[in-house]
Amino acid sequence: MFNIPVVFFIYKRIETTKQVFDTICKIKPQKIYLIADGPKSEDLFEACRDVREYIENNISWNCNLVRIYSEQNLGLAKRVSTGLSEVFAHEESAIILEDDTLPDPSFFDFCEELLSHYAEDHRVAHISGCNFYPEIFNSNDSYAFSSIINVWGWATWRRSWKNFNLSMNSWRDDNKDLLLNKWCVSRRQKKGLRKMFDLHCENDDPWAWSYQWIYSCWKNNALSIIPRKNLVSNLGIGPDATNTTSSVTLDKFPKTTQSMTFPLLHPDIDRDQNFDKRYLQSSKPPVIRTLKNIVKTWL
């Protein structure tokens, strides 16, 4: 049995949900937080209900299933924000997956060890499971400390989430250039994130939550962990996706996940700015924003 609570966000996509849940079943977590948004329209009611019932009816071990369901459609940003705030009202740490983020089984052990290792270290706020560019690692360490915050499978602590604010009100009066110059490694990155932070600051109807989480980590001088191997891939790239929408469906992106090697080799707690530069250089053009173009090159 796995001791760290697993948070699983679901909605309407039964096939990707089954694949991710099958991997969760292999580790048999003692506690699962099942977080579901309400249907956006009446015609989605059955699909949303079927996904919830599938999980509820297919837990074959002694598991404390905590349901956090909304009957109204909150939208992605508010569902994630309110759902995780409810989780961290009860838990010190958690591993977070969505219905389209497929982890390698070693992802759970990776998160478990690091959640314990850095439990009291406020210099670390985020543990990423996804690494788009494992080939850029040039050390023997198992992970790097970075400004890059990937949210396709991740983990964090209550102490970090308590700083999250979906409205990111403090950005309005922040020293924007000082913060962005510290964390961004290129003018393009700085320009793009400043635009996103401006759009989400005091926005009553935010469409994303991840920019606010990046801001929260950076504002509190907290680092992200990026694994040397890609431990999580996305199954949800296609016309039915919420964020990674494309006219063409990709079965899996990145194409492969790898298993982490244990025991972990821990680096010194210091941001690897050269790693950040190599990572951002590899992402030209940005991965998520140009997924449609990437798809076309694979056809």
179-231 per-position pLDDT tens digit: 999 999 999 999 999 999 999 999 999 999 999 999 999 999 999 999 999 99
Structure confidence at residue 283 (pLDDT) = 84
Q: 116 CB contacts (<8 Å, ≥6 apart)?
A: none
Q: What is the mean pLDDT of the chain?
A: 92
11-20, 99-108, 289-298: segment of lowest average pLDDT: 289-298
Average pLDDT for residues 290-295, to the nearest whole number?
44
The pLDDT assigned to 85 comes to 98
Nearest to 220, CA basis, from 273, 174, 185: 174
CATH domain 6-298 topology: Spore Coat Polysaccharide Biosynthesis Protein SpsA; Chain A (3.90.550)
Nearest C-alpha neighbor of 115 from the set 143, 152, 140: 143
pLDDT of 240: 56
Q: pLDDT at position 223, please?
A: 98
State residue 250's pLDDT score: 66
Mean pLDDT (whole number) for 110-139: 97
**Residue range 112-140: mean pLDDT, rounded:** 97
Domain ranges, ordered by start, for the chain: 6-298
Of all residues in the chain, what percent carry a pLDDT higher than 70? 90
Tokens read off for 85: 């705030």
Of the pLDDT bands very low, low, confident and very high (cuts 50, 70, 90), residue 294 is: very low
pLDDT at 298 over 90: no
pLDDT digits (tens, 9 = 90+) for 268-279: 999 999 999 999
pLDDT at 284: 72
What's the rounded Cα separation, in Å, for the pair 122 and 118? 8
How far apart CA 130 and CA 237 sit, in angstroms, is: 15
Kindly tell me if the per-residue pLDDT of 295 is higher than 50: no
Which pLDDT score, from 0 to 100, does residue 237 have?
Answer: 64
How does residue 297 score in pLDDT terms, banded at 50, 70 and 90? Answer: very low
**DSSP notation for 179-205:** HHHHH-SSHHHHHHHHHHHHHHTT-SS
Question: Hey, is 155 helix, strand or coil?
Answer: strand
Say if strands 124-128 and 101-103 run parallel, antiparallel, or are unpaired: unpaired
- Rounded average pLDDT over 138-161: 98
pLDDT of residue 173: 97
Tens digits of per-residue pLDDT, 51-60?
Answer: 999 999 999 9
pLDDT digits (tens, 9 = 90+) for 229-245: 999 999 976 555 444 44
For the entire predicted model, the pTM comes to 0.92
